[in-house]
Amino acid sequence: MRVGVLTGGGDCPGLNAVIRAVVRKGVKVHGFEFVGYRHGWRGPLEGVTMELGIEQCRGILPRGGTILGSSRTNPFKLENGVQRIKDNLASDGVDALIAIGGEDTLGVATKLADLGVNVVGVPKTIDNDLSGTDFTFGFDTAVNIATEAIDRLHTTAESHHRVLVVEVMGRHAGWIALHSGIAGGANIVLIPEQPFDIDEVCALVESRFESHYSPILVVSEGAVPREGGSMTLQSGEIDEFGHVRLGGIGDRVAKEIETRTGKEARAVVLGHVQRGGTPTAFDRWLATRFGLQASDAVADGDFGTMMALRGTKIVRVPLIEGTGALKLVSPEEYAEARVFFG
Ligand code: F6P
């Protein structure tokens, strides 16, 4: 059997670990041959391939990024996109495809599966907001990077009696902010799921200073002020998702705090640092287990499925489970963290 592999969407620590496990198990146990498709769905769309075998996978386990390259190409948004993919898979002699990606990539996989393409999905995102799986690989690495940054910012905030606002990734979900905020001992965490009240934030900042400590805020890039509250965003500064462009929400919150409380505030945007570099041991472990299971799913002809972590087990669930509604932070989980605010 000839199996195509692709990685789509934003890169994520652990992608190479999945590829390595898929190939090792595929070659050694199932006798597969592999075709690497480059740059996400652009690969099968334009017939851009690379050799993929055990040799190409040597030494890649601890490497960030993806040896296959990635893109956000969506064949369903392009003329004849789906037919071109089907034609290229046929001419490459590919019987099945393993798509490793997030909401968009797996959304495409779901639709292709409905159209009869033999596809299996592996969920990835540092944001951890895909449904159907307890965790996605990449998330643990991102949380560790953010936590280390918060630890470091505590001491500089204290030295200068400043407010430090750390903006972390998470366009729609606050998982990275919540987990790193708890792990790093942040004093306030703002997430997209719970619009914030800037007056309450400023009151917490002031009470923190009253107890002679400098506050650290962790803010998801997708956090928004409460409608009807005293902080408003101007239409020109908002992007298609309703988030602050340029400088971002972290910068905007720092400025509001400074103006309203008179306390000096600085914003730090962690950005793509959270996505780059070597994956943690947990992410390598999870990614590897997803890869092994994806190879088995192809061997079993179990197409239209996505690998998922449930407790400590890797199971296969219908692809649609991962690409339906996003997995968001519940009010209860957020309330738990609020005990540490202020
Ligand atoms: O989906 C992961 C993510 O890292 C989001 O948190 C972030 O909003 C987005 O990707 C940014 O991706 P890019 O810069 O690649 O468009």
Reported as a single tens digit per residue, the pLDDT across 180-222 is 999 999 999 999 999 999 999 999 999 999 988 899 999 999 9
Query: 272 a known binding residue?
Result: yes
Distance, CA of 137 to chain centre? 8
With 80 as the cut, is the pLDDT of residue 123 above it? Answer: yes
What is the ipTM for the molecules in this complex? 0.94
Q: How far is CA 107 from CA 66, 80, 85, 308, 323, in A?
A: 20, 18, 15, 15, 6
Convert the pLDDT of each residue in 232-271 to its tens digit: 888 888 888 888 877 799 999 999 999 999 999 999 999 9
Give percent above pLDDT 90 in the chain.
93
pLDDT by residue (tens digit) across 24-41? 999 999 999 999 999 999
3-state secondary structure of 102: coil
Q: Look at residue 49 and give its three-state secondary structure.
A: strand
Q: What is the pLDDT of residue 117?
A: 97
Buried/exposed 330-340: b ≥16 CB within 10 Å, e otherwise? eeebbeebeee
Q: Is 129 in the pocket of ligand 1 (CB under 6 A)?
A: no
| Residue with CA at minimum distance from ligand 1 atom 8 | 171
How does residue 98 score in pLDDT terms, banded at 50, 70 and 90? Answer: very high
Q: Is the CB of 170 under 6 A from ligand 1?
A: yes
pLDDT digit string (tens) for 52-75? 999 999 999 999 999 999 999 999
273 among annotated binding-site residues: yes
**Is 19 assigned a ligand-binding role in the annotation?**
no
Q: State the average pLDDT for the chain.
A: 96
pTM for this prediction: 0.96
Is the shortest distance between the CB of 72 and ligand 1 below 6 Å?
no
Closest C-alpha residue for ligand 1 atom 10:
10
| Binding site membership of 189 for ligand 1 (Cβ less than 6 Å) | no
Q: What is the pLDDT of residue 73?
A: 96
Does 171 contact ligand 1 (Cβ within 6 A)? yes
Sheet containing 2-7, strands listed edge to edge, beginning at the edge strand earlier in sequence: 49-52, 33-37, 2-7, 96-101, 119-123, 305-310, 313-318
Site to substitute for ligand 1 among 72, 137, 169, most atoms within 8 A of C-beta: 169
Question: In 3D, which of 321, 336, 187 has the Cα closest to residue 263?
Answer: 187
For the CA of 221, the closest atom of ligand 1 is 8
- Is 227 annotated as contributing to ligand binding? no
